[in-house]
Amino acid sequence: MLASSSSKLSHATLVHRYPPSKLHSEEEMSDTVFSSDENEMNYKCENVARKDDENLQCEEFEETPLYAAILTYLSYAILCLFGWLRDFLRNSNIEKKRGAVDPNATLGFVPLYQSYESFYTRNMYTRVRDIFNRPIASVPGAQFELTERVSDDYNWTYRYTGKTINAINLGSYNYLGFAEKSGPCATDAINALKTYGVSSCNTRIELGMFQRTQRYHVELEQLLANFLHVESSIAFGMGFATNALNIPAVASKGDLILSDEMNHISLILGMRLSGASYRTFAHNDMKDLEAKLRAAIVHGHPRTQRPWKKIIIVVEGVYSMEGSICRLPELIALKKKYKAYLYMDEAHSVGAMGKNGRGIVDYFGVDANDVDILMGTFTKSFGSAGGYIAGKKSLIDHIRVNSHSNTYASSMSAPVVQQIISSLRLLKRPEGQKRICQLADNTRYFRQKLVDMGFIVYGNKNSPVVPMLIYMPARVTRFNREMLRRGIAVVTVGFPATKLLDARVRFCISAAHTRQMLDTALTAIDEIGTDISLRYSTRHKSRRLREL
pLDDT at 117 (0 to 100)? 79
Q: Residue 13: pLDDT above 60?
A: no
Q: State the average pLDDT over residues 343-364.
A: 95
pLDDT at 15 (0 to 100)? 37
Asked if residues 393 and 225 have their Cβ atoms less than 8 Å apart, the reply is no
168 dihedral zone (left: phi>0; alpha: psi -120 to 50; beta)? beta
Q: For the chain, give every residue range classified as CATH 3.40.640.10.
A: 184-428
Cα–Cα distance, 52 to 440 (Å, whole number) = 10
Per-residue pLDDT band for 424 (boundaries 50, 70, 90) equals: very high
124 secondary structure, DSSP code: I
Per-residue pLDDT band for 124 (boundaries 50, 70, 90) equals: confident
Tell me: the pLDDT tens digits for 373-406?
999 999 999 999 999 999 999 999 999 989 998 8
Q: Is 11 helix (H, G, I), strand (E, B) or coil?
A: helix
pLDDT at 11 (0 to 100)? 37
Fold of the CATH domain 184-428: Aspartate Aminotransferase; domain 2 (3.40.640)
Please give the span between the terminal C-alpha atoms of the chain, in angstroms, as a whole number: 30
* CA–CA distances in Å: residue 78 to residues 12, 454, 473: 27, 28, 11
When mean pLDDT is compared across 54-58, 188-192, 274-278, 334-338, the lowest value belongs to 54-58
Global pTM reads: 0.86
Q: Residue 19: pLDDT above 90?
A: no
Q: State the average pLDDT over residues 521-531.
A: 96
Burial bucket for residue 37 (CB in 10 Å: 0-12, 13-18, 19+): exposed
pLDDT at 96 (0 to 100)? 73
Q: For the chain, give every residue range classified as CATH 3.90.1150.10.
A: 167-176+441-545
Q: State the average pLDDT over residues 121-147.
A: 90
Tell me: the pLDDT tens digits for 79-118?
999 989 988 888 888 877 666 566 666 677 877 777 777 7
Q: State the average pLDDT over residues 536-547.
A: 92
pLDDT at 147 (0 to 100)? 94
Per-residue pLDDT band for 46 (boundaries 50, 70, 90) equals: very low
Strands 232-236 and 459-460, bridge-based pairing: unpaired
Q: Residue 43: pLDDT above 60?
A: no
Q: Is 317 helix (H, G, I), strand (E, B) or coil?
A: coil
Alpha-carbon torsion, ordered 539, 543, 544, 548, to 10 deg: -100
CB atoms within 10 A of CB 63: 10
When mean pLDDT is compared across 41-45, 119-123, 393-397, 428-432, the lowest value belongs to 41-45
When mean pLDDT is compared across 53-62, 188-197, 203-212, 423-432, the lowest value belongs to 203-212
User: Could you give the percent of the chain with pLDDT greater than 70?
Assistant: 87
Q: What are 149's strand-pairing partners?
A: 160
Cα–Cα distance, 414 to 214 (Å, whole number) = 9
Amino acid at 471: Y
Asked if residues 523 and 487 have their Cβ atoms less than 8 Å apart, the reply is no
> Class for domain 167-176+441-545, per CATH?
alpha beta
462 secondary structure, DSSP code: T
Per-residue pLDDT band for 207 (boundaries 50, 70, 90) equals: low
Burial bucket for residue 384 (CB in 10 Å: 0-12, 13-18, 19+): buried
Q: Residue 134: pLDDT above 70?
A: yes
Q: Residue 45: pLDDT above 70?
A: no
Q: Residue 35: pLDDT above 90?
A: no
Cα–Cα distance, 381 to 29 (Å, whole number) = 18
Q: Residue 22: pLDDT above 50?
A: no
Cα–Cα distance, 129 to 113 (Å, whole number) = 17
pLDDT at 7 (0 to 100)? 35
User: 3-state secondary structure string, 467-519?
Assistant: EEECCCHHHHHHHHHHHHHCCEECEEECCCCCCCCCCEEEEECCCCCCHHHHH
Q: Residue 420: pLDDT above 90?
A: yes
Q: State the average pLDDT over residues 457-464.
A: 94
Which strand ranges, in their side-by-side order, compose the sheet holding 387-391? 232-236, 387-391, 373-377, 341-345, 311-316, 256-260, 277-281
Burial bucket for residue 500 (CB in 10 Å: 0-12, 13-18, 19+): middle
Q: Residue 8: pLDDT above 60?
A: no
Cα–Cα distance, 185 to 384 (Å, whole number) = 10
Cα–Cα distance, 484 to 146 (Å, whole number) = 10
